Amino acid sequence: MTAEPYDRFASRAADFGVEVTRTSVEDASTTIETLVEEPVVGAPLPWADVTLPEGVPTDPTPTELDEAVTGVTAAAFAIADYGSIALRATPAGTEPVSLFPDRHVAVLREEDVLPDMAAAFDRLGETFRATSGSAVLATGPSATADMGELVKGAHGPKAVDVVVVR
């Protein structure tokens, strides 16, 4: 993976108001921690070498989900051209954890930054045919202009941070 897709991703994500932080495997947990505002809930990260910081509880109750300010999840991949991240629907609750709290912190592996939409759908097609899975391509925070001007956080997060682990 060259630096190019990462730069493109970071710049496009910034267009949508997303803060992108690049970090190493060693520093990942600390980086995530600095972005978390309590109360926090999480969905476990699917990697052996990068895990949620201690103190980020998983398996939230509905009340915890409702009260959480931050939700931490993994992103399956990103699309550089659009600054989008793909969040898989998992039994551990990636979807609700990334959706209910006002701030979403997504953790992404740099090798999972795909260049464009065509590459993204190639990957999704393969995965969905194999697993019958679901995912959401999320780009920036939740937004609406229905009340007369653009407002962030219509039903979902008002702010999104992406931690990219090299």
Partner 1 sequence: MSSKGHEAKAARIRELLETEGEAVAANTRGFNTGRYESVAKLDDYQRLRQEAREIKEDAIERLPELLEELTEAVEANGGTVYVAEDAADANRYVAEVCEDRDAERLVKSKSMTSEEIEVNDHLESRGVDVVETDLGEWVLQVADESPSHIVAPAIHKSREGIADLFNERFQPDEPLETAEELTMFAREQLLERIKGADVGMTGANFLTADTGTMALVTSEGNARKTVTVPDTHIAVAGVEKIVPSVEDLQPFVELIGRSGTGQDITSYISLLTPPVESPTVDFDDPETPITDGPSDREFHLVLIDNGRLAMREDDTLRETLYCIRCSACSNTCANFQSVGGHAFGGETYSGGIATGWEAGVEGLDTAAEFNDLCTGCSRCVEACPVKIDIPWINTVVRDRINRSGDPGQFDFLVDGLTPDAESGGGPDLQKRLFGNFETLAKLGSTFAPLSNWVANAGPVKGLLERTVGVDRRREFPAFQRETLVEWFEDRDSLVPADPERKAVFYPDVYTNHMLVERGKAAVRTLEALGAEVVVPRAPGAGRAPLSQGMIATTRSKAERVADALGPYVEDGYDVVVLEPSDLAMFREDYEHLLPEAEYELLAEHSYEVVEYVYGLVANGADADALASVDGPASVAYHSHCQQRTMGLAEHTVAVLEERGYDVTTSDVECCGMAGSFGYKEQYYDLSMDVGENLGEQFRALDVDHVVASGTSCTDQLEDLLGDPPRHPVELLAPDGGD
Pairing between strand 19-23 and 84-88? unpaired
Stretch that binds partner 1, among 20-28, 45-53, 105-113, 145-153 (CB under 8 A): 145-153
DSSP state of 111: G
Distances (CA, A) of 43 to 3, 55, 136, 144: 28, 12, 15, 27
Question: Minimal CA–CA distance to 111: which of 50, 39, 42?
Answer: 50
CB of 52 to partner 1, least distance (A): 15
- The minimum distance between CB 101 and partner 1, in angstroms, equals 12
Size of the site for partner 1 (CB under 8 A): 54
Q: Supply 80's token pair.
A: 């550089």
- Other beta carbons within 10 Å of 37: 13
According to the binding rule CB under 8 A, does residue 117 interact with partner 1? yes
19 binds partner 1 (CB under 8 A): no
Q: Which stretch binds partner 1 (CB under 8 A): 2-10, 26-34, 48-56, 118-126?
A: 118-126
Tell me the residue length of the chain. Answer: 166
Q: How far is the CB of 25 from partner 1 (least distance, A)?
A: 27
Question: Given the rule CB under 8 A, which residues bind partner 1?
Answer: 58-63, 65-66, 82, 84, 89-96, 99-100, 117-118, 120-122, 124-125, 128-129, 132-151, 153-157
